Structures are given as C-alpha cells and as structure tokens.
Structure 1
Amino acid sequence: GAEQVHLWRRAYDVRPPPLPWDDPRHPRFDPRYADQDPESLPATESLHDTLRRVLPYWESHITPDLRQGLPVLIAAHGNSLRALIKHLDAVPDDDIANLNIPTGYPLVYELDGDLKTIRHYYLGDPEEIAAATRSVARQAGPG
C-alpha cells in the first residue's frame, strides 16, 4: 500500500520491483540511451544506487570546476538532487526519507576549500518555498 510506495520513493536502500525487460517503460527503449549497452541500464533503482551513479560524475566533472573557483549550476531530477544533498550534508541513511526538495526553487550551496558545506539556502519567497516543500512531502506519502 501507501507505506510500501513511500519506502520505494524515499528510503535509501529499498528498490521498487524492476521493470520487465519487455516493458515499454524500460530504459532500453528510451532513445536517450541508444548508445548504451541495454544490459547496463537499470530496471529499478534505489537512492543508494542513484548516489553510486551520481558521485563519480560529481568527482570527475563538478569537483574540478569548483576547485577552480568556477560557479556551477546543476539542474537535475529530485532523486539525483537528494543523492547529492545526502553526500554534501552527510545526511544519515535513516533521515534521508524525510528530505523534501521543493520543485523549481534554486538551492544554493556555499562550500569551503575542501568542498564541505558551509551553508545552503533556497532562493525565493520563504513562505512559497515552505508551501512547496509541504506539497512535496504530501506527494511522498506517509512516513
């Protein structure tokens, strides 16, 4: 029921059931992945899996720019952002399910020389951001 869906959507290491190989929603049918080996495309993914996919990109592409003092803009899906926030803020596995990211509001991170979080904040009207955050929490279901 709703509790299981909440676990699939928000828990750190719980995967939903995989898509069948012949399901048209399987990533192997997505033209964006046409140059990838279909066997390498996940049919399901937990936040832990997402983090393992995001961190190498963070280290190889984003970290070098940050170390050079370049500004970086990241536009991503909510789960990729949750994984990155988990990493940057060292959010414990058990607490990550309660992280709600309001859609469409820029989130600014200020990092020190070791790329550790100094602070982070959303840009926009605080009341609108709070309402959007509550809306995301309601979408996530019980928890």
Structure 2
Amino acid sequence: MERTLVLVRHGQSEWNLKNLFTGWKDPDLTEKGVSEAIAAGNKLNEMGMKFDVAFTSELTRAQRTCQMILDGVGQSDLTTIRDLALNERDYGDLAGLNKDDARKKWGEEQVHIWRRSYDIPPPGGESLKDTAARTLPYFITDILPRVMAGQNVLVAAHGNSLRSLVMVLDRLSREEILNVNIATGVPTVYKLNVDTTIASKEIIDL
C-alpha cells in the first residue's frame, strides 16, 4: 500500500514580488504564481498522480494554487479542506512592510533573527516554533491518518507552515530547519513507510 503525501507552497504572490512580509495578509497570485501552479498541476498529471483529498489554508494564494493543481490533474471537484492551521506564519508588526525597509528600521541582524530563528517571534507575530504548535497537531489528527490509510493527499500551503511539517517528516533539528527554503509552486512528493518514516522523497523539477 502506497502512502503518498504531496506538499506544495503556493505560487508567487503579489507581495512576494514586492518583497513584502505577508504572513496572514491575503494578496493574490501574480501571473508568475499562476503559471507556477499550473505547471505543478501539469507535472503531477504527467506523473499520473491522482489525489483522494486536498488540504489548504484559509488564504487565497494557497487556495488558488490548490485548485489549479487539481484542475491540472483532472480533479477539479475533489474534496478540499481549508483550515487556518495551515496558514502562513503570522509576521505580526512586520506584515505589509518591505523587507529592506524593515532592515533599515530594526537593523539587518534583528530582522534576520526574526526571520530565521526557530523560537524568536517578530513583534506581535509567530516564530516557526509557534507556527508548528498549530500546524503539527492538525497534521497529526487530520492529514497523517489519511496518508497512513493509503490515500494520496495534497497539501497546498505556505513556506513556513510547510517548513514546520518538513522539520518533523525529515527529522530535522532546530538548526537544520533554518537552512530549509521551500520554493514557490514546486511539489515535494513523500512516500511514507508504515511507521511514518520516509520511504522516499522527491522534489519535482518543473
């Protein structure tokens, strides 16, 4: 029995393009982001991938990416479950700010700490540890059981919500996860063993 989990970060958003901290703000995809999502769906279709269920966040950029992938594999009407547990990390007071402007205001080192440390949140926002505190329980109770039951599961979400899942799936340390970046629109296909360890992992080249 195959146990397949596909993780995809949303395609490029309007605020990605503008170099803004996004978090729980809800900008749409750019034309490039749409192209990335379509390409991901087409590639998964070429691989013969079909899904039993899809999960996404409550943010537009992830929902649209999810739908375009499902369109690409010929499953436009597949059951899709939306939950804020999969939302991007909340950047708090940084949300909506240009990243370069933030560096000028607080300094390069401080902004780097907020962005890349595991457990130091920006003012009013979430650290990666905080993000994991809401994504992992949801993953364990709602997503993983379907994978382990032999379903093919798609999760279209965000850079940091997915990084928190990758940290657990790949058994990465707090230091190792800081160097992990997830590209927009690029699917990662996991095959899991019966004990939830990884049988194989493939980052799909678009």
Shared fold by TM > 0.5? yes
Partner of 2:110: 4
Q: Partners of 1:110 and 1:81 in 2: how far apart?
A: 16
Q: Quote the Cα distance in structure 1 between the aligned partners of 2:176 and 2:114.
A: 15
Mark the runs of 5 or more structure 1 residues left unpaired by the alignment. Answer: 19-43, 126-143
Other-structure match for 2:169: 88
- Runs of 5+ unmatched residues, structure 2: 1-106
Report the equivalent of 1:133: none
Offset, 1:115: 1.1
1:30-49 matches, cutoff 5 A: 44-49=125-130
Percent identity for Structure 1 against Structure 2: 48
In the other structure, the counterpart of 1:139 is: none
- Find 2:120's aligned residue among 14, 17, 41: 14
Say which structure, 1 or 2, has more relative contact order (CA 8 Å, 6+ apart).
2
Off by >3 Å, runs of 4+ in structure 1? none
Paired residue type of 2:149: Q
User: Which residue matches 1:31?
Assistant: none
Residue of structure 1 aligned with 2:145, choices 38, 42, 64: 64
| 2:145 partner letter | P
CA RMSD of aligned residues (A): 1.1
TM-score w.r.t. the length of structure 2 is: 0.47
Say if 1:11 and 1:96, in contact at 8 Å, map to a contact too: no
Contact 1:54–1:83 under 8 Å retained in 2: yes
The structure with the largest strand share of the pair is 2
Which residue, 161, 173, 189 being the options, matches 1:108? 189
Compared with structure 1, are the counterparts of its residues 73 and 5 closer, same or farther at alpha carbon in structure 2 (3 Å cutoff)? same
